Amino acid sequence: MPRTSLSPLDLAFLCLESETAPMHMGAVLTFTPAEPVSPERLAALLAERAGEIPKLRQKTRTELFPPGAATWSEDPDFVAAQHIHHHRVSTLYDVDPLPEYAARWIARPLDTGRPLWDLTVVSGLPEGRFAVLLKLHHALTDGAGAYAVAVGLLDGLPLTARATAAGRGLAVVPQPRSALGAVKDTIAQAGETAGIASSVVRAARPPRSLVSPVSLVSAPASAERRLGFVRLPAADVRRIRRAHGGTGNDVVLAVLAGALREWLVNRGQRADGRTLRALIPVSVRGRAGTQLGGNKLSGYLCDLPIGLDDPVRRLAVVRHAMTRNKATGPARGAGAFPLLAGRVPPVLHRLGAKTAGLAAPLLFDLVVTTVPLPPARLALDGAPLAEVYPFVPLAPRHAVGIAVANYRDSVHIGLQANGAAVPDIGSLRDAVLKSAAGLLDTA
């Protein structure tokens, strides 16, 4: 297989990697088999399917030219089974051991000298459940690409979908352009870059504003992680939408705003009159761009109105902000700063990515992302998928990151926290449930 270059944004994620800020995404999937399933059988099945996905067989290689660049190349020593592990947990006092184990698992960085993924089958869960823990480096793909990995690993999916995950979908053939067209594109791109950069500068907050006790960016560097699982009925979200308008994502953002308010107040911090700025990643893939491979991302910035006590007003403010973002589009505004990575030479990513990462708190306080899932029922070796909790990497100095997945009749929310800054993730989990109940009461 020929080598392919990492895109500038892929390279940026690779260069941001550190022991205390690993740049991998994660997902915890739980299954409810009708009868006991052998972990060894599951591991063998996952290894077989993972081996069919070309991107999972590749590792990164640094190139001499252009300076700082990197490529994907086939790992000659690749063995899928070496990326797949089994862990049996012990259940004590009817407490689900999965969140605690998964927190230790997600804290471990991937080996950047090998293909950048990892799977763990977890057995011994209450009620006969088992779990699959999936870890993918953000240099490898974005959330939409992570969905393609799931398509390739799970069963009960159309053959065409599995082929897409394996990289056998139809290629898009580029059309030739005239020299004049190329010049026009270059000029337009330069104007777009200048516009985004100008928006970023205007949106950046002065460092002195970040010492506010309401800020979530004061987390010390720590490799310790805490995970929280929250499950909301999708019917409740639809009921709130019908009563107050907006999208399902608007409702979830409003619920999170209320939860963050409750959580901060309970920690003795002042929330009235304040906002927390969320970066909301947006896929800019085309219709044919669902294959695994590379990041195709922009983003929106949304000031979550944690200073408002009224849940209906919080939802109205979020609706207005997101409507304005969508009207502007993902290629404009300060939230589109990921697009700037494509205009930066590889050597600058190598030299400045970690410094740039430390500046993330100047733009936003936390990431809130939604991972797309298909409407079909999913399964592994015949065992139905019951829950799927996604997790977004924590930016340097951030205390909390939130990822959301809608699957079947539930909205699954994965909370990841810096363990040194948030020793009790359960308080934030409870605040999400309380905020959702409060908004539902108004519907």
Residue-range domains of the chain with CATH: 4-165 (3.30.559.10), 203-374+393-440 (3.30.559.30)
Q: What pLDDT sits at residue 201?
A: 45
Q: What pLDDT sits at residue 347?
A: 77
Q: What pLDDT sits at residue 92?
A: 72
pTM value?
0.86
Q: What pLDDT sits at residue 185?
A: 40
Cα 122 to Cα 87: distance, rounded to the nearest angstrom: 5
The pLDDT > 70 percentage for the chain reads 77
Q: What pLDDT sits at residue 416?
A: 98
Nearest CA among 283, 287, 308 for reference residue 297: 283
Sign of CA dihedral 111, 114, 117, 122: negative
pLDDT tens digits for range 199-251:
444 445 555 444 444 455 568 889 999 999 999 999 999 999 999 999 999 99
Helix residue spans in 277-368 (DSSP H): 311-328, 346-358
Helix residue spans in 166-300 (DSSP H): 179-203, 234-244, 248-266
Alpha carbon of residue 131 to chain centroid: 19
Q: What pLDDT sits at residue 283?
A: 82
Q: What pLDDT sits at residue 276?
A: 93
User: Strand 366-371 vs strand 400-407: parallel, antiparallel, or unpaired?
Assistant: parallel
Phi, psi of 90 (to 5 degrees): -110, 135
Q: What pLDDT sits at residue 210?
A: 46
Low-confidence ranges of the chain (pLDDT < 70): 1, 93, 156-218, 285-293, 331-343, 349, 352-360
pLDDT tens digits for range 27-36:
999 999 999 9
Q: Which residue has the tokens 């990431």?
A: 367
The answer for residues whose C-beta is within 8 angstroms of residue 125's C-beta and 6 or more apart is: 30, 89, 91, 96, 97, 98, 131
Burial zone of 298 (CB within 10 Å; 0-12 exposed, 13-18 middle, 19+ buried): buried
